[in-house]
Structure 1
Amino acid sequence: MPEDLVSEALRRALAVHSDQGSQYTATRLKDLLAQNGALQSMSRRGNCYDNAHAESFWSRFKAELLDGRSFPGLAEAKLEISHHIATYNAERRHSSLGYLAPNHFKTHLQTTSHLCPA
């Protein structure tokens, strides 16, 4: 297994955002993170929607792109993932955005926001 694949997996794992679930607030996990100099990013107490958009993205990502398959190598994975994200942001419509793609919603928001005085 390539060294950069393992290193990248660890870097990404150390940057994971967690919620207030007991598995993430447990003393053993906090001790392990501290021993390894890792900082934990956590949603605010009582606000389960802090990372809802990310949870939704990863759910769709796994269902639409991965669907149980694997990639031959890191380069192929990066290419497929970047293509999926570009498509997701440019073409995939979202009900929470008025059935617009994220890029279209952002453009619409930017072009109409100057019409409303602050």
Structure 2
Amino acid sequence: MSERRACRVIDADRESVRYRSTRDDDAGLREKLRELANQRRRFGYRRLHILLRREGVMINRKKTQRIYQEEGLAVRRRRSRRRAVGTRAPAPVLALPNQRWSLDFVHDQMAFRVLNVVDDVTRECLAAVPDTSISGRRVVRELTELITQRGKPGMIVSDNGTELTSNAVLAWCGEIGVEWHYIAPGKPMQNGYVESFNGRMRDELLNETLFLSLPHARVEIAAWVDDYNRERPHSALGYETPAAFAAELDKQWPASLRPTGSATQPIASTALMRKTTARL
């Protein structure tokens, strides 16, 4: 049967039958999306879309979703114990303040949680924010305020919690140009500095104090953090306090050797940095 007769039988337009799509195959975009999906295995198309736009790929979110589905990149539900692939621990950094911050949450039995921010080099607690609920936008606000006081960090390390992998956090990192490193799932020791700090806070404060209200908790936590930084001996610092250790090591860096752009003075030595690697 000819095309003309077949179209007449089914009442179809011959132009629609002969139409051939002129849309580009987007081979480069698909390759880039697959690369990002392999790096961020637990990210959906929305977060991958933000990463694409951060790298200058200006496309519509619906197009990202369509290619994401066509490439079969949907996040799969885990059915067994989560395992890390390769070494995903952050590399050792220069022994200077603001080179790497660590973030994590610690919960209290009174049903509030505390967002802790620790400088991995100085071991100082930069912020301890207690509240009943802390969203991704709240994390961004607290970090923005902290940066105005201390300057921008070279890297931020955290786990893969929903608040820390939210679209608000990803967009904020792209705007201010901060590298955010996510540890391998199920590997909390890759974020060992803040995990250790959380243990000290729980053992010395949360388990020892009966908080009557959230304002009372804020006062007690602020006082404990000040004592931790200025009075409590730290075993990893030769049993000196972080403040005293910082003041002593500050003398090791003459003004001519201090890197530009740091909000505070270099106060640590590379010999005191611990190097940790993840098991394969």
Q: Deviations over 1:16-47 (max 9, x none)?
A: x31xxxxx5xxxx87xx98x7465862268x8
* Structure 2 residue aligned with 1:21: none
So what's the TM-score if we normalise by structure 2?
Answer: 0.29
2:132 alignment partner AA: A
1:86 aligns with 2:226: yes
- Going by fraction, where is strand more abundant, 1 or 2? 2
Q: By how many angstroms is 1:113 displaced? A: 1.8
Gaps of 5+ in 2: 1-111, 114-130, 140-157, 171-180, 259-280
Q: By how many angstroms is 1:9 displaced? A: 3.0
* Structure 2 residue aligned with 1:10: 133
Structure with greater contact order relative to length (CA < 8 Å, sep ≥ 6): 2
* Structure 1 residue aligned with 2:196: 56
Change in Cα spacing, 1:12 to 1:61, as seen in structure 2 (3 Å) is farther
* Structure 2 residue aligned with 1:113: 253
Change in Cα spacing, 1:72 to 1:13, as seen in structure 2 (3 Å) is farther
Give percent identity, aligned residues only. 27
1:87 alignment partner AA: D
Q: Deviations over 1:61-85 (max 9, x none)?
A: 0000111644111110000000000
2:182 alignment partner AA: M
Q: By how many angstroms is 1:112 displaced? A: 2.2
The structure number with the bigger radius of gyration is 2
Q: Deviations over 1:50-103 (max 9, x none)?
A: 421111111010000111644111110000000000001101111211111011
Separation in structure 1 between the aligned mates of residue 257 and residue 168 of structure 2, nearest angstrom: 43
Q: By how many angstroms is 1:48 displaced? A: 6.0
Gaps of 5+ in 1: 19-23
Q: By how many angstroms is 1:116 displaced? A: 9.2
Separation in structure 1 between the aligned mates of residue 210 and residue 133 of structure 2, nearest angstrom: 18
* Structure 2 residue aligned with 1:42: 182
Change in Cα spacing, 1:102 to 1:42, as seen in structure 2 (3 Å) is same
